[in-house]
Structure formats: C-alpha cells, structure tokens
Amino acid sequence: MSAPSFANYIVKRPLLKRWMTPIANWYTDAAGYRRLGLKFDDLIPEESEVVQKAIKRLPPKEAYDRVFRIRRAFQCSISHTLLPPNEQIKPSEDVEYLSPIIREIEKENKEREDLDNLVVRK
C-alpha cells in the first residue's frame, strides 16, 4: 500500500507487461505466503480505520475464511512447517477480495473530503 510501485507504469505498456509478468509471478510465488495458505489481501496491514471498516463489510463467509487462513498460517509459522502442497493457495485462488472494498472506502473518504472543501461559485 505504501511502497512506491511501478505496477501502473508497467501495466500500461503491453510490451513491458509481457516481459514483466513471468518475473512478477515468480517473485510472488517466491514470497512464500501462498505456501502458508495466505492470500495477498491477508497481508494488508489491518491497523487502520479504512481496513478495519473494509473487514467489517466483508460477507460473513469471506470474513470467516480470512480468519481461518490467518490462524492456519500462524500455526504453520509457530511449528516451522509449510502446508502440504494440496492445501497451499494456488495462484488462481490468490485473488483480491479485500482491496476492492478498501478502494471503495478510500473513494468515499475522498469524496467526503472534496465535498467538505467545496467552493460554490455563483
């Protein structure tokens, strides 16, 4: 969320995107969180009001699964093990489930700020 990202720059350029995608995929896999059974959105720091609100807005099933994955990863971490390969998160399962809600809340906040600083010219 906070580190500077070239992602947008790269995605906009098809050639660059074609080169970078395999590297990015390799990198994400090498990061290892999928082997602990986590999705990328589980790694978003939740110590902020926006993310807290987003977590509250998750559908009940999603919220349950999220807690389950985090607890499972915690256990793995304590016991210094990885999950068996069939339980690890596959790249196809590693989809955004929280980020869209976060973006929506950020949009709401921005809109509120904009409207609060509105100047009416007549």
Partner 1 sequence: MLSRSSLSRNAPRALSAGRRAMASAANPTFQYDVSEAAGVKVANREVNGATGTLALVAKAGSRYQPFPGFSDALEKFAFKSTLKRSALRITREVELLGGEISSTHSRENVVLRAKFLANDLPYFTELLAEVASQTKFSDHELNEVVTQLLKYQQQAVYSNPETVAIDAAHGVAFHRGLGSPITPSQTTPYEKYLSGDALAQFAQDAYAKSNVALVATGPNSADVSKWVGQFFKDLPTGSSSSQYKVQPSVASKYFGGEQRIPSKTGNAVVIAFPGSSAFGTAGYKAEASVLAALLGGESSIKWTPGFSLLSKATQGFSFLNVSTKNHSYSDAGLFTVTLTGAADQIASASKNVVDALKKAAAGEVASEDIKKAAALAKFRALESVQTLETGLEATGSGLVHGGKAYQIGEIAQAIEAVSEEQVKEVAKSFLSGKATLVSVGDVHQLPYAEDLGLSA
Question: Which residues of this chain interact with partner 1, rule CB under 8 A?
Answer: 56-57, 59, 108, 111-112, 115, 118, 120
Between 99-116 and 49-56, two packed helices, what is the crossing angle to 10 degrees? 120
- Cα dihedral sign for 17, 20, 26, 29? negative
From CA 116, how far away is CA 17, in angstroms rounded?
Answer: 39
The residue among 14 and 59 lying less far from partner 1, judged by its C-beta, is: 59
The residue among 56 and 80 lying less far from partner 1, judged by its C-beta, is: 56
The residue among 59 and 84 lying less far from partner 1, judged by its C-beta, is: 59
Alpha-carbon separation of residue 36 from 1, 54, 85, 88 (angstroms) = 21, 23, 10, 7
**Structure tokens given for 80:** 């210094």
Q: What minimum distance in Å lies between the beta carbon of 53 and partner 1?
A: 9
Q: What minimum distance in Å lies between the beta carbon of 98 and partner 1?
A: 13
Q: What minimum distance in Å lies between the beta carbon of 61 and partner 1?
A: 12
Q: What minimum distance in Å lies between the beta carbon of 37 and partner 1?
A: 27
The residue among 10 and 105 lying less far from partner 1, judged by its C-beta, is: 105
Left if phi > 0, otherwise alpha if psi is -120 to 50, otherwise beta: which for 94?
Answer: beta
